[in-house]
Amino acid sequence: MRITNGLLAASLALALSSAALAQPDAPPPAPPLILYRDATLIDGTGAPPRPHMSILTRGERIERVAPAAALPAPDGAEVVDAKGLFVLPGLINTHEHLATPPNRPFAEAMMKKDLYGGVTALRDMADDLRQVADLARAARVGEIPGPDIYYAALMAGPEFFMDPRTQAVTMGAVPGQTPWMRAVGPDTDLRQAVAEAKGTGATAIKIYADLPGGAVAAITAEAHRQGLMVWAHAAVFPATPAQVIDAGVNGVSHVCMLAYQASAAMPGAYHHRAAVEAERFVAATPGGVTALFDDMRARGTLLDATLWVYDEMAADHAAHPEGAAPYCSDTLAARLTHEAFTRGVIISAGTDGFSEASDPWPALQDELILLQDKAHLPPLAVVRAATWAGAYAFGHEAEAGTIAEGKLANLAFTTDDPSKDVRALKTVTLTVKRGARYWRKDYVVGR
């Protein structure tokens, strides 16, 4: 192969420049200093809004939060005029599935929509973790625009792995025999299974279905021993909601599954379950369910209510009434969420689904409107569900979820006031994730 002198020189120059960029001992650039000046602060704690506040960020951290008059711009700081805007912590969706089945362009499009809609972190609740792990890495280092991702490896009983979704997310391997999606039976070495799940980079084990209460407790204990959280369906079939809560899981998903605690007989398997017995809730919520709420409050067990799912199921059934009715109504789901909230349960905001590609806003904003309008949570409580409670869901409330000095610079700016009506969260104009800015005006729907 003949190489000309010009081509050789160009190749050598490229190699030298690449080597210079890759110098491991080169000092990192100074983190940018940015002052967001004179916004109304909604800090995510549930406290009332504070007008005329400024936030100084250095790199990916919040350095100071103070009244605007007491925080002049330091030398070298860039100033962003936020007068007239409202600022709150970056939003968090506690229930997404980015890779069931794996579809990289779709996942990246949904992540981009999330980010430009104010969402700076999400929980991926079990998928093909080969793809999710790379999406998490790419978003974390800024290769693609998207929220930070905290994800779960799934465990379920062997019967669950007849579900075609398990084949889609383990393609190339045997369903139920992968570190990210494991069939658990009496002979499973839980210590090894949890260790392999942890090796995927997972934050948690998700306990899905078709396991008795004793198995739920054993998985939870081993996961906690190895430093992983445990996220579970609120009923695991045949494990009852009471058994799931008593196992000590960190959080449960799908509020209506708690209603199975009032059923005359607990369904024995996930795919063969009857609807909840709604007639038992007509006069009042049965004492067994309210006792669950009290136990969850005492334990600090999070409820990922997913009202968006029940609303979608109701809409689908209204459009196709010839099909089977949903296992629970959107009305009962909202009522149970309200009762859980009034009894002190920590509520987070998760969707378990995505808005249409043509919708300019993430599904999370609709979940927040449902929490406000149908579950009757006050707007500031809804904001807390989508911020502090979201960070609590994956154990990062010391790092994110509220606006405070030392925490991650994850911020969402709106033109309207979310403390009066959470529809204001559809007026996001700027998202700041780990100090990087994403202006809403730069977002193109569907791309």
Angstrom distances, CA of residue 176 to CA of 13, 183, 211, 217: 51, 4, 14, 20
Q: Is it the case that residue 202 has pLDDT exceeding 60?
A: yes
**Buried b / exposed e along 325-360 (16+ C-beta atoms within 10 A):** ebbbbbebbbbbbbbbbeeebbbbbbbbbbbeeeeb
H or E segment at 26?
A: none
Asked if residues 427 and 421 have their Cβ atoms less than 8 Å apart, the reply is: no
Taking the CA atoms of 175, 180, 185 and 187 in sequence, report the sign of the dihedral they define.
Answer: positive
Q: How far is the C-alpha of 431 from the C-alpha of 91, rounded, in Å?
A: 9
pLDDT of residue 17: 47
- Name, in order, each residue with C-beta under 8 angstroms of 366's C-beta and a sequence gap of 6 or more: 308, 311, 351, 355
Q: Is it the case that residue 1 has pLDDT exceeding 50?
A: no
Asked if residues 177 and 154 have their Cβ atoms less than 8 Å apart, the reply is: no
Share of the chain above pLDDT 90, in %: 92
User: pLDDT grade, residue 23 (50/70/90)?
Assistant: low
Q: What is the mean pLDDT of residues 121-147?
A: 98
**∠43-350-287 over CA atoms, to 5°?**
100
pLDDT of residue 29: 82
pLDDT of residue 226: 98
The strand pair at 91-96 and 119-124 is best described as parallel
User: pLDDT grade, residue 25 (50/70/90)?
Assistant: confident
Asked if residues 244 and 220 have their Cβ atoms less than 8 Å apart, the reply is: no
List the chain domain ranges: 90-397
> pLDDT tens-digit profile of 385-398?
999 999 999 999 99
Average pLDDT, the chain: 94
> pLDDT tens-digit profile of 140-178?
999 999 999 999 999 999 999 999 999 999 999 999 999
> pLDDT tens-digit profile of 75-96?
999 999 999 999 999 999 999 9
Share of the chain above pLDDT 70, in %: 95
Asked if residues 295 and 247 have their Cβ atoms less than 8 Å apart, the reply is: no
Whole-structure pTM value: 0.93
> pLDDT tens-digit profile of 5-17?
444 444 444 444 4
From the list 300, 288, 420, the residue with the least C-alpha distance to 348 is: 300
Backbone dihedral region of 398: left (phi > 0), alpha (psi from -120 to 50 degrees) or beta? alpha
Q: Which CATH number fits domain 90-397: 3.20.20.140, 3.40.228.10, 3.40.50.300, 2.40.37.10?
A: 3.20.20.140
Asked if residues 112 and 139 have their Cβ atoms less than 8 Å apart, the reply is: no
pLDDT of residue 8: 44
Q: What is the mean pLDDT of residues 241-253?
A: 98
Cis peptide bond prior to 164, omega within 30° of 0: no
Asked if residues 289 and 332 have their Cβ atoms less than 8 Å apart, the reply is: no
Q: What is the mean pLDDT of residues 367-388?
A: 98
Q: Is it the case that residue 285 has pLDDT exceeding 90?
A: yes
Q: How far is the C-alpha of 111 from the C-alpha of 147, rounded, in Å?
A: 6
E strand intervals along 216-268: 229-233, 251-253
pLDDT of residue 278: 96
User: pLDDT grade, residue 24 (50/70/90)?
Assistant: low
E strand intervals along 90-224: 91-96, 119-124, 148-156, 177-178, 181-183, 204-207
